[in-house]
Amino acid sequence: MEWWQAALIALFCYLGALTTPWVLGTTGGWYVITRPLVAGLICGIILGDVKTGVLIGIAVQAVFIGLITPGGAVPADLSFVSYLGIPLAMVAKAPPDVAVSLSVGFGVIGVAAWQILSVGNAGWAHLDDRYAAEGNLNGIIRSNYLAQIGTFVLRGILPFFVLLLGSSSAQSFITFLNDQIPWLVQYLAILGGALPAVGIAILLLQIAPSASMLVWFLAGWVLIVYGHVPLVGVAVVGGLLAVLHYMYLSRIEIGPGEAQYG
């Protein structure tokens, strides 16, 4: 990896961080740039191999498809998953399922960076209290910009050096593993295949209001394994069933007399 490639990837790591405002805030950053699906494309363009980037991005995205950050509690740090795990797996020429295990590892490490930032930033809030007592609105506005210093150090400068130093050894490291400890690579591939189960289970936990709602999850599962319906088709069927669900809930809760569905 050239230094400018490391710099560009680190720049996207910063732009997509949870606390970076510049690209439509959380909407364009955290929820778009930092999704592994999108990061795979961006890293693929920067490293000159779009196809590999997208395929690794999809594999990694599967693990984190149900990731929610309730109240700022980040269970796994997507910034480092997407912009350290994916590019380093690409330069190491690791297959997608090995890349998944690698990325999850970076995600666990990255949580520490998030905790440092979200505790340290309280200093700005204390400064803002003083400005508020003085009626200094511009001071509070300025702190919203100055707070970017911490984010830039942890999400831009730190990843730049990790990428620069990591990329030179990443490929020889994977080659060494393949030749000397083949069982480790085999195991990482098995683990990488199983890890998306965690992402799916989190998703279930978040969106199923009751255990009985799992029948809908099974319906989607069965459409794929028995019916071989493509995913877009599953989403369409899901949409139709959601409308039906809304109709009969209305009939139960409002009563047949008032609900008009022809």
Partner 1 sequence: MAELAATQPTGAAPPADEKKLTKGDLRRAWWIWTFFNLSAFSMERMQAPAFVYMMSPIIRRLYGHDPSEIKQALQRHMVFFNTEPQTGVIAHGVTAALEEQRANGAAINDEMINSVKAGIMGPMAGIGDSMIPGTLIPILLAIGMSISADGNPFGPIFYIVSYIAIILSLSYYLFMFGYRYGMNTMRELAAGGFRRVTTSFAVLGLIVAGGVGATVVSVKTPLAYTSGELTISLQETIDKIFPQLLALGLVLLLWFGMRRRGWPINRALGVVLVITLIGFLPNLLGQIFGLDWLKSLSIF
Contact 18, 171 (CB under 8 A): no
Shortest distance in whole angstroms from residue 222 CB to partner 1: 8
Using CA atoms, how far residue 79 sits from 87, 111, 243, in Å, is 12, 10, 36
Minimal distance, residue 36 CB to partner 1, in Å: 9
Closer Cβ to partner 1, 7 or 139, answer by number: 139
Least CB distance to partner 1 at residue 216 (A): 4
* Min separation Cβ 46 and partner 1, Å: 13
Residues 6 or more apart in contact with residue 14 via CB below 8 angstroms? 20, 151, 152, 155, 156, 159
Considering beta carbons, is residue 169 or 186 the nearer one to partner 1?
186
Dist CA 232 CA 253 (whole Å): 31
User: Given the complex with partner 1, which of 175 and 186 has the nearer CB atom?
Assistant: 186
Shortest distance, position 164 Cβ to partner 1, whole Å: 25
State the burial class of residue 135 (Cβ atoms within 10 Å of its Cβ: 0-12, 13-18, 19+): exposed
Between 95 and 164, name the residue whose CB sits nearer to partner 1: 95
- Determine whether 234 is exposed, middle or buried from the number of CB atoms within 10 Å of its CB (0-12, 13-18, 19+): middle
Helix, strand, coil distribution of the chain in percent, nearest 5: 80, 0, 20
Q: 7 vs 140, which CB is nearer to partner 1?
A: 140
174 vs 188, beta carbon nearer partner 1: 188
Helices (H), 16-77: 25-28, 36-47, 50-63
Cβ 179 to partner 1, closest distance in Å? 13
CB nearer to partner 1: pick between 3 and 22: 22
CB of 154 to partner 1, least distance (A): 13
Q: Are 67 and 203 in contact (CB under 8 A)?
A: no
Q: What is the DSSP letter of 243?
A: H
